[in-house]
Amino acid sequence: MWRSGVVVPTYWWDGHPNFGDAMTSWLLPTYGVLPVHRVASRARLAGVGSVLEFLPDDFDGAIWGSGLIRDEPHPLPRAHALAVRGPLSRERIGAADAVALGDPGILVSRHLRRPAPKWDVGLVPHGHHRSHERFLALADAAGSRVRVVDVHQEAASAVREIAACGLIVTTSLHGLVTADSFGIPAVWTTLDPPLEGGDFKFRDYEAALPGTSSRFIAYDEDWTLDALRDAARTADADDVVRMGDALVRSLDGLRGAVGPLPRFPIGAVSAFRR
């Protein structure tokens, strides 16, 4: 993107390891942006995840693919929205209709080659659901190779595991987004305990894929993997390409949004990726 990259004070959730949140520091260097983590009040850029509620009302930095966690207004009148996760978040922060939509996780397949298939099914429980016995019992289905993906790991490791599955069943948003990036059939559901904000972030993301029907199915303790295979769908391929292209183009506005920034040689970017 640029012959030299820029160093940007950036906010993303780092309260505990989570591969979706870690996508900010994994993806941005490939586009000439080296994010350095800062608390929300000192950041000039907000990255991947449901983090917009953490931004102060007078935040005047840039937003790239972030979303809200709750279905409530959170006006950010001074923010420079380059891209927002979905139209619901865009409306609730008061961003213009022309602002690009998409979760940056949709870009992962552009930077990591899909590995050879290793598992028939990947279960991707949100961290709140990693002890949900009935959901995890699907991993014991006879005749299927099933991987339970730990979301509390680095982005590249989790993405590789998801990409090596033939079907994804998830309560983690970025389990769905990663599956969509690679064209993997997926379903998502909700479990107890409910996530903060309920299913808002899923609805927000899927609303940015106009050619794709929702992959939500209500949880049933009598689920079988065969039934889940029948219900699973891929995201519309054109939706995925358009979303990714719009996210990449939106970064062209970063320098204008946040002002002069320190630079680093673009060839040094590999040192900052895992």
CA distance to 15, 182, 255, per residue, from 93 (Å) = 24, 30, 22
Place of tokens 């790239």: 64
CB atoms within 10 A of CB 194: 10
The CATH class given to the 107-236 domain equals alpha beta
Domain boundaries, the chain: 4-105+241-272, 107-236
- Show Cβ contacts of residue 143 under 8 Å, excluding neighbours closer than 6 positions: none
Q: Name the DSSP letter for residue 30.
A: G
For 140-193, the DSSP string reads: G-TT--EEE--SSS-HHHHHHHHHTBS-EEESSHHHHHHHHHHT--EEE---SS
Stretch (H or E) spanning 247: helix 237-250
CB atoms within 10 A of CB 67: 29
Task: Render pLDDT for 115-132 as a digit per residue (tens, 0 to 9).
Answer: 999 999 999 999 889 889
- Under a CB-based contact definition with an 8 Å cutoff, are residues 164 and 116 in contact? yes
Nearest to 77 by CA among 92, 87, 98: 92
Helix axes 173-182, 155-163, angle to 10 degrees: 60
Residue 269 corresponds to which amino acid? V
- Give the mean pLDDT of the chain: 93
Task: Render pLDDT for 137-193 as a digit per residue (tens, 0 to 9).
Answer: 999 886 789 999 999 999 999 999 999 999 999 999 999 999 999 999 999 999 999
Q: Is the pLDDT of residue 271 over 70?
A: no
Q: Name the DSSP letter for residue 135.
A: H
CB atoms within 10 A of CB 96: 7
> What whole-number percentage of the chain has pLDDT above 90?
85
- Under a CB-based contact definition with an 8 Å cutoff, are residues 138 and 225 in contact? yes
Structure tokens at 141: 């289905």
Q: Is the pLDDT of residue 1 over 70?
A: no
Q: Is the pLDDT of residue 207 over 70?
A: yes
Stretch (H or E) spanning 264: strand 263-265
Q: What is the distance in angstroms between the CA of the first residue and the CA of the last residue of the chain?
A: 20
| pLDDT confidence band for 2 (50 / 70 / 90) | very low
Q: How far is Cα 208 from Cα 137, in angstroms, rounded to an integer?
A: 32
Full-model pTM:
0.93
Place of tokens 């949140």: 21
Q: How far is Cα 46 from Cα 38, in angstroms, rounded to an integer?
A: 10
- Under a CB-based contact definition with an 8 Å cutoff, are residues 206 and 263 in contact? no
